[in-house]
Structure 1
Amino acid sequence: MDVEILARIQFAFTIAFHYIYPPLSIGIGLIMVITEGLYLKTGNKHYEVLTRFWLKIFAITFGIGVATGIIMEFEFGTNWAVYSRYVGDIFGSALAAEGLFAFGLESTFLGVLLFGWNRVSPKVHFISTIGVFLGSMFSAVWIVVANSWQQTPAGYHIVGEGFNARAEVTDFWQMVFNPSSVDRIIHVWQGAFLAGAFLVLSVHAYYLLKGRYVAISKKGFKIALLVATIVSFSQLLSGHSSADGVAKNQPAKLAALEGHYDKSAPADLYLFGWVDNETQKVTGLGIPGGLSFLVHQDFKAPITGLNAFPKDEQPSQVNAVFQFYHIMISIGMFLIALTLYASYLWWRGKLFDKRWLLQIFAFSVILPQIANQVGWFAAEMGRQPWIVYGHLKTSEGFSQEVSANQILFSLILFMVVYSFLLLLFLYSMNKKIKSGPYNEAINPLEIN
């Protein structure tokens, strides 16, 4: 493999592995805010136990997330020197804001959150929980802002030429609120809420199936189900808004997402299929003119296809983009159906009567993670060959001095280290879950 492909594989591996953890932290943080708020309002010790338990899981997730995220900043300098020079002013602004306003907020309150039980008042501890949760959300904001600028650049001008060219910020807020940032931030937040909510659903479904911690698990399950139902359904709105933005700002990506090649013709909306890039055909089940209707509210409205763009400006892996996108959509629709059905049973007072449903929830923890991953893959591969859309191609952005063997060696090393971290994470999680939500500070006999 050449340097560019290896550099892309390495970054894809490291960021995909890292992206397991921040969404869980954000989602668990939301659950903790709700449970601790309910404890302060009602005085019910069940909610205190839930908060303390999920705080332990949050701490594990947060720690692994920080450890796996640091390495990506070094990759920018080692493997993507030209790209780093080009976007340094843009990324410097966004990542500085993350460090000052997001990570600073999160780390300031984290100590109080972890060690402040019985040392500060309940209200101060609750404020710390909110602070950590908001810090994790703001951290996601600045990372997504930086990435969104690559997709839809705004608030900048180009200085220099060739390898010395770089983008400089001319309007900070225009850079922050670039055409795709708000839609993508909301969508990322929602994906994170679902990742955390389904972890909570999975663990408490497991307890209920085993007949352990039944009273407390029913409360935790209901809280997570309410969050998952609202968020999964609201993702339809943010997803549609994001698609409208892609249609306007990145038409080649939209065409790749649905395998649409004709320069200007009505486009179908596929439920599933397979794209043959040679014949430029999609074999599958689709709604004729469906994409045209979603974009223009007209089944016969033309959509710009891939053939409207030069060959060297089209995504090369159209079928992969198509598959990743449709996997994300399929999982999203399944989660909507699952949570709505469970909510209906809750309304009927039969939520915990069906073991098969609890079994589905116990294993469903992996689905939001898959959706988050393939959604990012579709977004990043869909903007290829551009690393900065319309300005800098990926083939122009990698380091000129690094060798393929160097990248391959570091990739193998990362795989070994990250595999160890994953095993450590799973071991720690399993240990905490099996030990249960109670600890030496809480006597379950006083609660039950």
Structure 2
Amino acid sequence: MDALDVARWQFGVTTVYHFLFVPLTIGLSVLVAILQTMWHRTGNERYLKLTKFYGKLFLINFAMGVVTGIVQEFQFGMNWSDYSRFVGDVFGAPLAIEALVAFFLESTFIGLWIFGWDRLPKRAHLASIWAAAIGTNLSAYFILAANSFMQNPVGYRINADTGRAELTDFPAVLTNKVALITFPHTLAGSFLVAGSLVTAVGLWHVIRNRGSADTGAYRFATKFGSWVVLVASAAVLFTGDIQGKIMTDVQPMKMAAAEGLYTTESPASFSVLTVGSLDGSREVFAIKIPYLLSYLGTGDPNGTVHGINDLQAQYATQYGAGSYTPIIPVTYWSFRFMIAFGMAAGAIALLVLWSQRKGRTPSSKWLLRAGLAMPVLPLLANSFGWIFTEMGRQPWIVFGEMLTRNGVSRSVSLAEVLTSFTAFTLIYATLAVVEVKLLLRYAKAGVPDVSEQPPTDDTDDAERPLAFAY
């Protein structure tokens, strides 16, 4: 074990942990804004209760996401300084815009939304949560644009004198075809997570607090969340199909590794289960669906999909001697876990909607257990999706331009990386406990009492104190 191994583990652990909060923040910001809009348009008190209820869960998650996200950028300078030096001119531009525009937009208007219930006019207050939601989604886009450069470098040139990548076409970076499809795919996955949380919490209260005064609000939340999950599931499949075709074009090795496809096939079959040799060079046993992989990869049932061994030979000739194959079992199984967990959440959403057909009230303990698992399933799907995305790109840190082993900080010792890795892991474990306890505590508490309605006029009472929404 050396500093490179630990640096990779540290970045992987902190990134996956951080992304547990990101999709919930992205999706829940929009769902809370929709609920508040429904209250604004109808005046129905149950929508106000749900806005404040899920808004509180959103704020808890947002705060944790900000804390864990700060560590990500520090690591570029600490453990990956050679990578930062090489790609900083390109990578820094979208990240700078994300910080200066999108993050300040969301953080400023979240503050106005939190403290503006008793201070802002009703329309201005509604606009603040929508501005925060827009800022949250813009943040996602700029970060994904930076990541997409690592997957498919565009809009740059290599300075032969400095050995650095220099930005030549910023619009090309922002309109990278990988970013253009990764963004809606990530949004769909985020709504899958947020809708699952809304459904799970609402279902718990419907079953456990049967007959309470707020049962109608919880029933609506359960249906609302379930429909969001179903629509998001369809969007994930649609965008994932497009993403697979683009991936086959720009990163054919990743697609081959995802399918355990060792030799080029035309037409190519989709692998339901593949067992490879111990040295990872050939297929031993496989269960396949004919023609499906060709369609997923090229849009043509008879299309050609290149295999691992052929691509390895091509890359060795193109880039020099060495292994250009990712860890096949990790790539293969993370791709399948991503799909399986996402589909499971959609299936549970269908069961929840079926249980409430024609005004029925669900009561099954098995349904409750399945519903409580819903938020975890899409979180796992998102996590495995990013593991697949990043591990499938290996051994490249910037595809075709820089190997991961060449991006690590040469002046950082193994002991120093181990120290920071241990510290971050312990801190993150503590934050995880805090996050789960806070979410469970406020989710169990139920919707708040909103008997004192926020003012709907433009009255400016200078003597009225600032009021926190909760």
How would you bin the TM-score normalised by the shorter chain?
over 0.9
Q: Which one is further off, 201-210 or 5-14?
A: 201-210
Q: Which of these residues, 423, 440, 446, is aligned with residue 413 of structure 1? A: 423
Equivalence map 1:296-307=2 (5 Å): 296-307=298-309
Instruction: Quote the Cα distance in structure 2 between the aligned partners of 1:370 and 1:120.
Output: 39
SS at match of 1:103: helix
2:404 aligned with 1:394, yes or no?
yes
Residue number in structure 2 paired with 1:259 = 260
Match of 1:91 in 2: 91
Is 1:280–2:278 an aligned residue pair?
Answer: no
Shift of residue 282 of structure 1?
5.7
Aligned length: 441
Does the CA-based 8 Å contact 2:37-2:126 persist in structure 1? yes
2:292 is equivalent to residue 290 of structure 1: yes
Q: Deviations over 1:221-280 (max 9, x none)?
A: 121112111111121110000000001111111100101110454322123444445252
Q: Which residue of 1 aligns with 2:164?
A: 166
d(CA) in 2 for partners of 1:155, 1:327: 34
Q: Which residue of 2 aligns with 1:384?
A: 394
SS in 2 for 1:398: coil
Deviation at 1:314, TM superposition (A): 2.6
Amino acid at match of 2:258: L
Identify the residue that residue 337 of structure 1 maps to in structure 2.
347
Q: Which residue is 2:5 aligned to? A: 5
Cα pair distance change 1:293/1:435, threshold 3 Å:
closer
Is 1:428 the equivalent of 2:428? no
Conservation of the 8 A alpha-carbon contact between 2:110 and 2:132:
yes
How much does 1:349 deviate? 4.3
CA contact (8 A) 1:275 1:322 kept: no
Report the TM-score when normalising by structure 1: 0.93
How far has the Cα of 1:376 moved from its partner?
0.3
| d(CA) in 2 for partners of 1:221, 1:254 | 37
Partner Cα separation in structure 2 for residue 134 and residue 243 of structure 1: 27
Paired residues for 1:184-195 under 5 Å: 184-195=182-193
User: Once structures 1 and 2 are overlaid, which stretch shifts more, 225-234 or 428-437?
Assistant: 428-437
Using the aligned pairs only, state the percent identity. 34
Distance in 1 (alpha carbons) for counterparts of 2:373 and 2:353: 18
Give distance in 1, aligned partners of 2:337 and 2:258: 11
Shift in Å at residue 7 of structure 1?
A: 0.6
- Paired residues of 1:197 and 1:228 also in contact (CA < 8 A): yes
CA offset at residue 180 of structure 1?
0.5
Tell whether the 8 Å contact from 2:257 to 2:326 is kept in structure 1 after alignment: no
Distance 1:105 1:218, change over 3 A: same
Secondary structure of the residue aligned to 1:262 is: coil
Q: Which residue of 1 aligns with 2:463?
A: none
Which runs of structure 2 are paired with 1:74-223 in the superposition (5 Å)? 74-160=74-160, 164-211=162-209, 213-223=214-224
Amino acid at match of 1:192: S
Partner of 1:360 in structure 2?
A: 370
Q: Distance in 1 between matches of 2:373 and 2:292?
A: 33
**What code does the residue aligned with 2:155 have?**
G
SS at match of 1:157: strand
How far has the Cα of 1:78 moved from its partner?
1.1
2-side partners of 1:282 and 1:30: how far apart? 47
Structure 1 pair 210/347, CA: closer, same or farther in 2 (3 Å)? closer
Q: 1:133 to 1:227 in 2, by over 3 A?
A: same
SS of the residue 2:177 aligns to: coil
8 A contact 2:295–2:301 mirrored in 1:
yes
Alpha-carbon distance in structure 2 between the residues aligned to 1:313 and 1:144: 27
Could you tell me how far 1:298 is from its partner in structure 2? 4.6
Residue pair 2:4, 2:405 contacting (<8 A) in 1 also: yes
Shift of 1:33: 1.3
Question: Deviation per CA, 1:189-221, whole angstroms, max 9, x where unpaired?
Answer: 111111111111111111122125422211111
User: Any conservation in 1 of the 2:268–2:291 contact (CA below 8 Å)?
Assistant: yes
- Alignment partner of 1:304: what SS? coil
1:35, distance to aligned residue in structure 2 (A):
0.8
Q: Give the letter aligned to residue 219 of structure 1.
A: F
Asked whether 1:66 is paired with 2:66, we answer yes
**Cα RMSD over matched residues?**
2.0
Partner residue of 1:325 out of 335, 353, 360: 335
